[in-house]
Amino acid sequence: MRRRRLMQGMLAAGAGVLQSTPKPLSAMGQSPSSSGIPFTVETLAAAIRAGETSALEAAETVIERVESAAVLEAIISFDGDGLRAQAAAADKTQQRGETLGPLHGVPIMLKDNIEAVGYTCTGGTPALREHRPRRNATVTQRLLDAGAVIAGKANMDELAGGGSTNNPTFGRARNPYNKDHIPGGSSGGSAAVVGGRIVPAALGTDTAGSIRTPAAYCGLAGLRPTQYRVPSDGIVPLALSRDTCGPLATTVADVALIDGILAADQNQVKGQSLKGVRLGLPKEVFQDNLSPAVSQRFEEVVDRLTREGVVFVRANIPSLAALVEQTSLITLGGAFRTDMTQYLGERETGVSFGDLAAQIANPFVRGWIEPYLAPGDTILNDYANVMKNVMPMLRRTYESYLTDNQLDGVLFPTAPVTAGIELNINGDLIVEGTEIPGGVWLNIQNTGPASLWGGPGLSIPAGLSKEGLPIGIELDGPLGGDKNVLALGLSIEAAMPETPAPA
């Protein structure tokens, strides 16, 4: 892979130190609400049901934090009075003794490509800045049916096509651990509002890593579900064959709870013993370009999990680099015009594809997507061949890798580096002290394969570097193996050091 080779050897920085004592899940410190209740989804929902706090009090906490954290530029639209009204209605429901959903009264923010009645749905792009949907996306409705209240719309890369959440129209989102650094993308706003403890959870979308990388950069857990497991209607598309909606939260338990609601699969997920669990440890692709901080942390994680009884199989996935090279970019853009045209018409936006394309404001997004705005026969034929022949080959290769090695999953660093400092909007970064042209592409080096083979990928927080920046590890599983990935994730998280909230 040409970009991968160019970046080899460019990174140089000091490594972080893993905290010596793992914290049990129940002891993970979180910024409390104004009532002193830990600000996690599970704890807050339980406290509201028990009458220890109210939905309105939780909403007031969010409103206060939105105002104090404006510097993060992580929110596109917010309606404090509307949030209060939703919360007050939730409290009245409880007072009437009605049945309460598992998310009753919990405020959750949506990435601004997910439709919610009462809010604009911009997709982060100028042509849709006045788009006010007439109905909810299915994922939004499922949250509401579970009792959640919608806490606003989070900033994002334009059309979900970038990796830094530097949006020329709606602002440049900041990493809550260090505001000079990026939060990742394209769900960087969703990650920043959760990482900054503004809301206990948010939804993002992931096409090549847009949930998992921001989760890793902002000290969170984030899940990309198996492709098509969660409905995508009412979500502004980038590539429907790869787009997936999923949750970001401070704990794997919260992610598992929300995932069950989004996928209408609420079977309880419980942690399991790690003894005898077999995980692949491929080096090719996944351990390219590792910075010293991430490399040392990942080695320490592997050592820690080995002591917990995990059996690691150090074997590469055959031909993975070549297969990713053939499939990655063309599957991002090949059907963009078709998918977007269908969305614009079906959701009655009043915007044509031509108008949307002409108004793309981010030069990085326009730079890579330009050939796909009016694709010629060569691109269309290549796309058809990749979808018919190469993508199935990639999936078979991955499934065979798991089966042949009797693996429960694959483990690797979510991102090969910690969050960088953006030099310009064109994707050049300073990463751990080194200037890297096109460094933003490192965001999807490790997350991209899962979005191609379509299986679940869970990013788990693994502490901070010595510079105070979060590091994440990712667990991928077989297609449809989401519940098992989450169960293993609970146990892996419990063995990890606590990732503290931003100072």
Which residue numbers are catalytic? 111, 186, 210
> What is the spatial distance between Cα 342 and Cα 195, in angstroms, rounded to a whole number?
34
Please check whether residue 190 is in contact with residue 154, taking contact to mean a CB–CB distance below 8 angstroms.
yes
- CA-based radius of gyration for the chain: 21
Secondary structure, 3-state, 139-162:
HHHHHHHCCCEEEEEECCCHHHCC
Query: Which residue in this structure is represented by tokens 């991102």?
Result: 415
Question: What are 339's two structure tokens?
Answer: 């998918």
**CB atoms closer than 10 angstroms to residue 193:** 32
Q: Residues in the chain, how many? A: 503
Q: What angle do CA 10, 457, 392 make, to 5 degrees?
A: 95
Please check whether residue 463 is in contact with residue 497, taking contact to mean a CB–CB distance below 8 angstroms.
yes
Half-sphere exposure of 335 (CA within 13 A, CB side): 19
Half-sphere exposure of 168 (CA within 13 A, CB side): 16
DSSP letter (8 states) at residue 198: S
Question: What are 310's two structure tokens?
Answer: 């995990």
Q: What angle do CA 401, 406, 410 make, to 5 degrees?
A: 60
Helix (H, G, I), strand (E, B) or coil at 111: strand
> What is the spatial distance between Cα 461 and Cα 466, in angstroms, rounded to a whole number?
15
> What is the spatial distance between Cα 402 and Cα 410, in angstroms, rounded to a whole number?
8
Assign 3-state DSSP to the chain and report helix, strand, coil percentages, each to 5.
Answer: 40, 15, 45
β-partners of residue 474 are 412, 459
Helices and strands in the chain: count of H runs, count of E runs = 17, 16
DSSP letter (8 states) at residue 412: E
Question: What are 255's two structure tokens?
Answer: 């992610």
